[in-house]
Chains A and B, each alone.
Chain A
Amino acid sequence: MASDAPPPKGGTDTSPAQSTPDRSTTAQPTTAQFVEVQESAEFGELRRAYRSFAFPLTIAFIAWYLLYVLLSNYAGGFMGTKLFGNINVALILGLAQFVTTFLIAWFYARHASRKLDPKADVIKSRMEADA
């Protein structure tokens, strides 16, 4: 197992022949252009689409996690209730945290690729063309 072959030479996209220069030397838009975009309705919409999704969802999953922590601490009887065999409420709620984490990650990725990426790409390509 420990004898994993090293990555093939030149075979993957991580092995460019030359070192890759940073794009730091490409033309950057000016501060005035950034301010103008920041104040535009188009960017306002992107910001709203991002924040109105990410912020409430963050509050929700942290609250759900804290609820779980508090139940573990102060509701031992309830958590110990056996549902079937030796599987109790505590185990199911713990596994539910896994399930919700996977679901939220999937949900965010879907929202981002449908609602955020197209808006962001339009602004980015226009700004970089103007710069």
Chain B
Amino acid sequence: MSQSLPHMSHPVQQLAAAADASEHRPLIITLFGLFVVATLFITVWAGRQTKSASDFYAGGRQFTGFQNGLAVSGDYMSAASFLGIAGAIALFGYDGFLYSIGFLVAWLVALLLVAEPLRNSGRYTMGDVLAYRMRQRPVRTAAGTSTIVVSIFYLLAQMAGAGVLVSLLLGITSDAGKIAIVALVGLLMIVYVTIGGMKGTTWVQMVKAVLLIAGTLLITFLILWKFSFNLSDLLGTAASNSGKGAAFLEPGLKYGATATSKLDFISLGIALVLGTAGLPHILIRFYTVPTAKAARKSVIWAIGIIGAFYLMTIVLGFGAAALLKPGDIIASNKAGNTAAPLAALEIGGGADSTGGAILLAVISAVAFATILAVVAGLTLASSSSFAHDIYANVIRKGEATEKEEVRAARWATVAIGIVSIALGALARDLNVAGLVALAFAVAASANLPTILYSLFWKRFTTQGALWSIYGGLASSVLLVLFSPVVSGKPTSMFPGVDFHFFPLENPGLISIPLGFLLGWLGTVLSKEEPDKGKYAELEVKSLTGTGAH
């Protein structure tokens, strides 16, 4: 597939030409600049209203279900969904579409089992719910650790992706230029989160969701228009242009090669569908609305918005396949991440046209907005968890004042920002796709079992919680470390060495059942009795909202 080195291709030159041409680059930079100025304005405005801990962590819990639904969508639809899925469809046809389905169906787990009970029984973090019935310090430490690990992996992927993408769109190829872009993204996210807190972050995510939907709608419409709104024609052209014929429209091009790759697909599918409801940056969004009913409405809106978006990725991806030469997509970016911007350039009239330049600039600005909104959400999730779970409840044993807690959260944001700038700069040339899949797998293996047992299983104990969090976390991280994602293949992070023994790229097939199993085993083997009173509190609160914050 991607190993065959393609000839120098012309859309890359087109893209570079479009970006380099003196009249086009200013347009992209102007749109980036407008977005940055607008969001900084919102951030300062939100910052002036951020006083209490509840303002900082939960935006004052004043958002409506619809507003939060938009923000949830903005938090969830990362560059991986937007550029990654369109690219995967453009290169592998139908198999790219399989991602969209897993990412969407996953929301039903959040809707039916997690969002409302979490909103009713927690306060600021995922750890609030996990530690409710348990011994506080060990479970908070575990929940904080897993929150930070999941968020950092996810963050790293976004940062590195931002460097690659923005550099490409702006025609910056030097290492120093890429590092500067990563640093700029990191700096902006520190500013959004430290000043604007959850309120500022939520507004940035809402603006981004509107931009992303509007931009995608525009390109989708133009592509469909070109094919006279005949989806069958579009698919047919994509299939013949891809050089793979009917197979391009059938499952199997990416995952159907061997028995192992088929297992890998099952593993990925399970991780996607069970991971979403365990992602801390998504979970804390449910605290920004006043009630569980509003949390439910948020998820319903999010399902509508995200579903509509993923339906459009079909047109975007197959449209790119129909309009561009496959070799050109690969030459521009091996993973196909630039297929959507290239399609925008093409549908607007090509590299030399004003239309093409404008559409490319719009899509680039949307991609940039997407990355910024997602990294802000991730940073907030990890710094909240550090300040609330680890600093306030473990280090200070619940004695910290609200002010001290929020100050700790702001410092944690700066620290996490600096760490991710450094890691993002180091990882800028690595294959980062595995990191997002890993984040989903860790969330599904470590967080989801513990959340579900905590909410619904009377007997669940502290030991069970610790075993499922640490067991799920360790098994998923270790399996990835010894998988082809890290070593042993040309597409690995370290292609020069080979210490892999686990054949699958996604650990979910093993680590998710293991997380559930360990939670059960840790519970039945523990000597302590579960705290019946605390479970009564948690269960009644989670189903009725009595005494909810």
Q: Mark A residues whose CB is within 8 Å of B.
A: 1-7, 9, 13-16, 18-24, 26, 28-29, 31-32, 34-35, 37-39, 43, 46-47, 50-51, 54, 57-58, 61-62, 65-66, 68-70, 72-74, 76, 79-80, 82, 84-88, 90-91, 94, 97-98, 101-102, 104-106, 108-109, 112-113, 116-117, 120-121, 123-124, 127-128, 131
Contact = CB atoms under 8 A, between A and B. Distances in A.
A37 to B, nearest CB: 5
Nearest to A113: B293
Nearest to B238: A86
Interface in B184-234: 199, 203, 207, 210-211, 214-215, 231-233
7 contacts: A4-B211, A19-B50, A46-B543, A85-B235, A90-B94, A94-B101, A123-B546
Nearest to B531: A31
Given A16-B49, A34-B537, A61 B262 contact: no
Contact of A38 (B207, B365, B540): B540
A2 B211 contact: yes
A23 B207 CA distance: 29
A1 B31 contact: yes
Given A1-B362, A6-B38, A13-B62, 6 more contacts: A2-B34, A31-B534, A35-B532, A65-B105, A79-B250, A86-B246
Nearest to A120: B544
Residue picked from A20, A108, A116, most chain B C-beta under 10 Å: A20
A23 B549 contact: yes
The 8 A-B residue pairs whose C-beta atoms are closest, nearest first, are A85-B232, A19-B51, A72-B251, A2-B35, A38-B536, A2-B34, A80-B250, A31-B533
Contacts of B546: 29, 34, 123-124, 127-128
B211 A1 contact: yes
Contacts of A101: 104-105, 107-108, 303, 307
Given A29-B546, A46-B544, A20 B262 contact: no
Contact of A105 (B113, B199, B299, B362): B299
Interface string B74-116: 0000000000000000000010011001101101110111001
A120 B38 contact: no
Contacts of B116: 112
A104 B108 contact: yes
Interface string B257-301: 000001001100110010000000000000000000100110110
Main secondary structure of the interface of A (DSSP, over half): helix
B356 interface: no
A69 B267 CA distance: 10
B249 A91 contact: yes
Given A2-B31, A76-B250, A124-B546, A58 B536 contact: no
A2 B108 contact: no
Residue picked from B104, B239, B249, B366, most chain A C-beta under 10 Å: B249
Given A90-B249, A124-B545, A14 B62 contact: yes
B62 A76 contact: no
A23 B111 contact: no
Contact of A88 (B113, B210, B250): B250
Contact of B269 (A69, A87, A108): A69
A7 B62 CA distance: 14
Interface stretch (B52-60, B425-433, B489-497): B52-60
A119 to B, nearest CB: 8
A50 to B, nearest CB: 6
A4 B38 contact: yes
A23 B233 CA distance: 57
B108 A105 contact: yes
Nearest to B97: A94
B389 interface: no
Given A14-B67, A86-B232, A22 B98 contact: no
Contact of A3 (B38, B299, B532): B38
B232 A98 contact: no
A2 B211 CA distance: 7
A62 to B, nearest CB: 7
B38 A87 contact: no
A43 B215 CA distance: 48
Contacts of B307: 98, 101-102
A87 B252 CA distance: 16
B52 A90 contact: no
Contacts of B123: 22, 24
B304 interface: yes
Nearest to A35: B536
A86 B540 CA distance: 53
B255 interface: yes
A38 B533 CA distance: 10
B105 A1 contact: no
Given A20-B61, A90-B94, A98-B311, A69 B293 contact: no
